[in-house]
C-alpha cells in the first residue's frame, strides 16, 4: 500500500481555500500512485478554530466540505481532520476527529481522546474526549489512527491517565498514522522526534506522522512530518516551513526503500528566522493585506523587523518611517538610511521634534514646576506612534511592532507609542537572540549595517540615553528572564544559581508589574516554548512575585 503525506498550509475558516487545496492534493497523490493520502488535524477548518466552533453554521460548513472532499475519493482513500458532532446529549457538542474516506463514503471516524489544555492549547473548551477506539481496515492493512496529542502521553510525567494506542494495539494493527497541528517553537522539533520515536519503539510499529505548516495569527506551524520504522528509527523527514507531499510504500509492517537517517536540525536562530518570515507573510496574506509600515530608528530591533518584513513581503511592500527627535544622533539616521538602501524598501523621514515641542508647550501650565522625566520621554514615543498609525490609516499599511521579548518582559516600552502595532514580530525573541539574528541575516553579506549591531542600544529620548541606564546588561537580564518565564523558576531558585538577590527580585518585580502593558500589546509571533500571549496567562493585580 502506498501512503501519501500531505503537509499543507491551511487558513482558519477559509473552507473554499482549504477544500480546494485538499482536493488538489488528493489528485496529486493519486497521480503519484498513492492508495491513501493523509491530511493534518482539523485540516478542513484550520487550526485553531477557537470560538468559531461555537457557531452552528461553522460546523455545517465543515460537514459540507467533508462531503465535497469525499466526492473526489475514487481510486484513492483519504484521512482528513475536522470537527464532528457528538450525537450524545451528555458531554461537549463536538469531537476533534478525522474522517477515513473510501469510494466517496465516510467509512470510519476517529476521535481524539487526549485534549491538550495547557500553554496555547484550549481544546477541552470545545471538544469531548473519545473513550472508544478501533483500527481502520484498508487494503488488508490495519491502521491505528490517532490525532496529535494522542501520542504524547508517553513521558515520565504523563498528563493523562490513559493512552488510545494501548487500546488500539489490542487489535494488532500493522501501522500507526498520526495527524497533527503541532505549533512551532525552536525546541519543539527535537521533542516531537523523541516522542514519535518512542511510540514506534513502544508499540513495535512503523509510524507515519503528518503536521501542517503556516501561521494562524501568532501560532506558527513548521511541518517537519516524519516517518519511523518499528524500532523507532527515523526514516524520512519532510521539509520545514514549506508545503510538501511525499508517497511512502508500506509492505506488511515495513516502510520500503528507506534506511534509518540522522536527524539534522536547523540551528535555533535559523528556525526562528524562517518562522518569523512565515509568520509575517501568512499574517498579511490570510488577512488580505499586502503592505507594511514600521518605525525605523537606526537601532537593531527595527532593523531586524525591517529585514524580516522585506524577506516576507518584498521590499517594495515595506515602508520604513524614520522619526528623529531632537535627541537623535546623526549616526542613527545614517544607519537607518543605509539599511533602507541595502534592502531597497520605501522610506519617509518625519521629524517628531515639532510635535514633541507642541506637546511640551501645551502641557507647560499643567506641568509647571515639574522636572523633565519619563513623561516627556513617553510623549516622544507616543508622537512616533501617532505618525506610523497615521501612515497606516492614510495608505492602508499594516503596522509592525518592533519590541523584543526582553523589553516586553520588563515593560521597557511605551503604551500607545512604540508598543503599538497589528502584529508583534520579535516580541518572543530576547535581545541576545536579536544579535544572533542579525549575524544570521548578514551571513551572506552585510545588509544590516555593522554600526547598528555594535552600538549601545538606546531609545534616544533624552541626551546620551542608553538602555543600560534603566536595565541590567542584556546577557544577565535574558538569562534570568529565561529561567523565570520559560523554565518557571522562582526567585529563590534563580538566586540559588548564583545571581544577585536584589537584581533577581528587581527583574521579577518588573516582569509582574508590566503585565497590564502586555494585555494591551498586539499578538506576538510565537517562536519559544513560552511566549507572551495566550500561552502565558497571568493576573494583572496578583500579589505573588515568585
DSSP assignment string, 385-445: HHHHHHHHHHH-PEEEE---HHHHHHT-S-TTTTT--SEESSTTS-HHHHHHHHHHHTTTS
254 and 275 housed in the same domain:
no
Q: Spell out where 162-224 has E strands.
A: 175-179, 207-210, 213-216, 219-222
pLDDT tens, residue by residue, 425-446: 999 999 999 999 999 999 999 9
325 and 249 housed in the same domain:
no
Give the contacts of 180 (CB within 8 A, at least 6 positions apart).
40, 41, 147, 148, 209, 210, 211, 212
Q: Are the C-beta atoms of 345 and 316 separated by less than 8 Å?
A: yes
pLDDT tens, residue by residue, 64-76: 999 999 999 999 9
Mean pLDDT confidence for 479-488: 97
Element containing residue 111 per DSSP (H, E): strand 105-111
> 263 versus 247: which is more confidently predicted?
247
305 and 336 housed in the same domain:
yes
By residue count, the chain amounts to 546
Q: Classify residue 389: in a domain, yes or no.
A: yes
Active centre residues (catalytic): 41, 112, 148
Residue 201 C-alpha cell reads as 519503539
Q: Classify residue 546: in a domain, yes or no.
A: no
Please give the pLDDT value at position 223. Answer: 97
Q: Classify residue 21: in a domain, yes or no.
A: yes
* Share of residues in the chain with pLDDT > 90 (%): 92
Q: Classify residue 537: in a domain, yes or no.
A: no
Mean pLDDT confidence for 462-475: 79
> What is the number of domains present in the chain?
2
278 and 349 housed in the same domain:
yes
Residue 347 C-alpha cell reads as 522610506
300 and 257 housed in the same domain:
no
Please give the pLDDT value at position 459. Answer: 64
Mean pLDDT confidence for 375-403: 96
Q: How many Cβ atoms are within 10 Å of 5's Cβ, its own excluded?
A: 27
Domain boundary among 247, 265, 283: 265
Mean pLDDT confidence for 385-405: 97
| Cα 34 from Cα 516, distance rounded (Å) | 53
pLDDT tens, residue by residue, 204-239: 999 999 999 999 999 999 999 999 999 999 999 999
317 and 253 housed in the same domain:
no
User: Does 469 score more than 80 pLDDT?
Assistant: no
pLDDT level of residue 462 (50, 70, 90 thresholds): low
User: Does 176 score more than 80 pLDDT?
Assistant: yes
Domain hosting residue 439, numbered range: 270-467
Q: Classify residue 154: in a domain, yes or no.
A: yes
Can you count the helices (H) and strands (E) in the chain?
Answer: 16, 20
What DSSP designation does 40 have?
A: -
243 and 276 housed in the same domain:
no
CATH number of the CATH domain containing 112? 3.60.110.10
CATH number of the CATH domain containing 372? 3.40.50.620
* 3-state DSSP percent of the chain in helix, strand and coil, to 5: 40, 20, 40
Q: How many Cβ atoms are within 10 Å of 195's Cβ, its own excluded?
A: 17
Residue 293 C-alpha cell reads as 509600515
- 3-state SS of 117-174? CCCCCCHHHCECCCCCCCCEEECCEEEEEEEHHHHCCCCCCCCCCCCHHHHHHHHCCC
β-pairing, 398-401 with 346-349? unpaired
Q: Classify residue 500: in a domain, yes or no.
A: no
Mean pLDDT taken over the chain: 95
Identify the residue whose cell numbers are 524500532. Answer: 231
Q: Are the C-beta atoms of 220 and 183 separated by less than 8 Å?
A: yes
261 and 313 housed in the same domain:
no
Listing DSSP states for 446-469 in one string gives: --S-HHHHHSPP---SSTT--GGG
Helix (H, G, I), strand (E, B) or coil at 42: coil
Residue 166 C-alpha cell reads as 494501548
Helix (H, G, I), strand (E, B) or coil at 542: coil
Max alpha carbon distance in the chain (Å)?
87
| Cα 196 from Cα 227, distance rounded (Å) | 9
261 and 285 housed in the same domain:
no
Domain boundary among 450, 467, 484: 467
Residue 363 C-alpha cell reads as 502641557
User: Does 126 score more than 70 pLDDT?
Assistant: yes
Q: Are the C-beta atoms of 211 and 193 separated by less than 8 Å?
A: no
Identify the residue whose cell numbers are 510499529. Answer: 205
Closest of 495, 7, 464 to residue 225, by C-alpha: 7
Q: Are the C-beta atoms of 146 and 7 separated by less than 8 Å?
A: no
Crossing angle (nearest 10°) for helices 330-343 and 300-313: 20
User: Does 460 score more than 70 pLDDT?
Assistant: no
308 and 260 housed in the same domain:
no
Q: Classify residue 514: in a domain, yes or no.
A: no
Give the contacts of 386 (CB within 8 A, at least 6 positions apart).
355
Please give the pLDDT value at position 461. Answer: 66
Report the phi/psi class of residue 148: left, alpha or beta, with left for phi > 0 and alpha for psi in -120 to 50: left
255 and 290 housed in the same domain:
no
Residue 170 C-alpha cell reads as 489490542
Residue 405 C-alpha cell reads as 521579548
Is the pTM higher than 0.85?
yes
Mean pLDDT confidence for 348-366: 95
| Cα 496 from Cα 492, distance rounded (Å) | 6
Domain boundary among 265, 294, 316: 265
Mean pLDDT confidence for 138-153: 97
User: Does 539 score more than 80 pLDDT?
Assistant: yes
CA atoms within 13 A on the CB side of 175: 28
Burial status of residue 33 (CB atoms within 10 A of its CB: 0-12, 13-18, 19 or more): exposed
Closest of 206, 241, 418 to residue 312, by C-alpha: 241
pLDDT level of residue 463 (50, 70, 90 thresholds): confident
What DSSP designation does 327 have?
A: T
Please give the pLDDT value at position 155. Answer: 79
Residue 494 C-alpha cell reads as 534563580
Q: Classify residue 415: in a domain, yes or no.
A: yes
440 and 421 housed in the same domain:
yes
Amino acid at each position: 500500500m502506498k501512503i501519501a503525506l500531505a503537509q499543507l498550509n491551511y487558513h482558519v475558516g477559509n473552507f473554499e481555500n482549504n477544500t480546494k487545496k485538499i482536493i488538489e492534493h488528493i489528485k496529486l497523490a493519486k497521480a503519484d500512485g498513492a492508495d491513501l493520502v493523509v491530511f493534518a488535524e482539523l485540516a478542513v477548518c484550520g487550526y485553531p478554530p477557537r470560538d468559531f466552533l461555537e457557531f452552528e453554521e461553522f460546523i455545517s460548513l465543515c460537514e459540507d466540505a467533508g462531503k465535497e472532499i469525499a466526492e473526489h475519493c475514487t481510486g484513492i482513500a483519504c484521512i482528513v481532520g475536522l470537527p464532528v458532532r457528538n450525537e450524545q446529549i451528555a458531554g461537549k457538542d463536538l469531537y476533534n476527529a478525522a474522517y477515513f474516506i473510501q469510494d466517496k463514503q465516510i467509512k470510519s471516524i476517529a476521535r481524539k481522546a487526549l485534549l491538550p489544555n495547557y500553554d496555547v492549547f484550549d481544546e477541552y473548551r470545545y471538544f469531548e474526549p473519545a473513550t472508544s477506539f478501533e483500527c481502520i481496515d484498508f487494503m488488508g492493512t490495519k491502521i491505528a489512527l490517532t490525532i496529535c496529542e494522542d501520542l504524547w502521553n508517553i513521558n515520565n510525567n504523563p498528563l493523562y491517565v490513559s493512552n488510545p494506542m494501548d487500546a488500539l494495539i489490542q487489535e494488532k494493527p500493522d501501522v500507526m498514522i498520526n495527524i497533527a497541528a503541532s505549533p512551532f517553537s525552536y525546541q519543539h522539533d527535537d521533542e516531537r522526534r523523541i516522542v514519535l520515536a518512542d511510540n514506534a519503539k513502544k508499540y513495535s510499529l512503523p509510524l507515519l506522522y503528518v503536521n501542517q505548516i503556516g501561521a494562524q495569527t501568532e501560532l506558527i506551524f513548521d511541518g517537519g512530518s516524519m516517518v519511523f520504522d518499528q524500532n523507532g528509527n527515523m526514516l524520512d523527514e519532510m521539509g520545514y516551513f514549506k508545503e510538501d507531499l511525499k508517497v511512502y510504500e508500506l509492505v506488511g509492517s515495513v516502510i520500503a526503500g528507506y534506511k534509518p537517517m540522522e536527524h539534522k536540525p536547523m540551528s535555533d536562530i535559523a528556525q526562528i528566522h524562517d518562522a518569523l518570515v512565515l509568520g509575517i507573510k501568512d499574517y498579511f496574506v490570510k488577512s488580505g493585506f499586502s503592505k507594511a509600515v514600521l518605525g525605523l530608528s537606526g537601532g537593531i530591533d527595527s532593523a531586524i523587523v525591517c529585514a524580516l518584513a522585506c524577506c516576507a513581503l518584498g521590499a517594495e511592500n515595506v515602508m520604513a518611517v524614520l522619526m528623529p527627535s531632537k535627541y537623535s544622533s546623526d549616526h542613527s539616521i545614517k544607519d537607518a538610511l543605509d539599511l533602507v538602501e541595502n534592502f531597497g524598501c520605501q522610506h519617509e523621514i518625519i521629524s517628531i521634534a515639532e510635535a514633541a515641542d507642541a506637546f511640551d508647550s501645551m502641557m507647560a501650565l499643567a506641568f509647571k514646576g515639574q522636572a523633565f522625566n519619563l513623561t516627556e520621554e513617553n510623549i516622544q514615543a507616543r508622537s512616533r506612534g501617532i505618525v506610523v498609525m497615521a501612515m497606516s490609516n492614510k495608505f492602508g499599511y499594516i503596522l509592525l511592532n518592533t519590541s523584543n521579548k526582553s523589553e516586553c518582559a520588563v515593560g521597557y516600552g511605551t503604551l500607545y507609542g512604540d508598543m503599538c502595532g497589528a502584529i508583534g514580530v520579535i516580541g518572543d525573541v530576547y535581545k541576545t537572540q536579536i544579535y544572533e539574528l542579525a549575524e544570521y541575516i548578514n551571513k551572506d553579506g552585510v545588509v544590516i549595517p555593522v554600526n547598528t549591531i555594535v552600538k549601545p542600544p538606546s531609545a534616544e529620548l533624552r541626551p546620551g540615553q542608553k538602555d543600560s541606564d534603566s536595565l541590567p546588561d542584556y546577557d544577565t537580564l535574558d538569562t534570568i528572564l529565561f529561567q523565570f518565564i520559560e523554565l518557571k523558576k522562582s526567585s529563590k531558585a534563580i538566586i540559588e544559581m548564583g545571581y544577585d538577590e536584589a537584581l533577581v527580585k528587581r527583574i521579577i518585580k518588573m516582569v509582574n508589574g508590566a503585565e497590564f502593558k502586555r494585555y494591551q500589546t498586539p499578538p506576538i509571533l510565537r517562536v519559544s516554548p513560552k511566549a507572551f500571549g495566550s500561552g502565558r496567562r497571568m493576573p494583572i493585580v496578583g500579589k505573588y512575585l515568585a
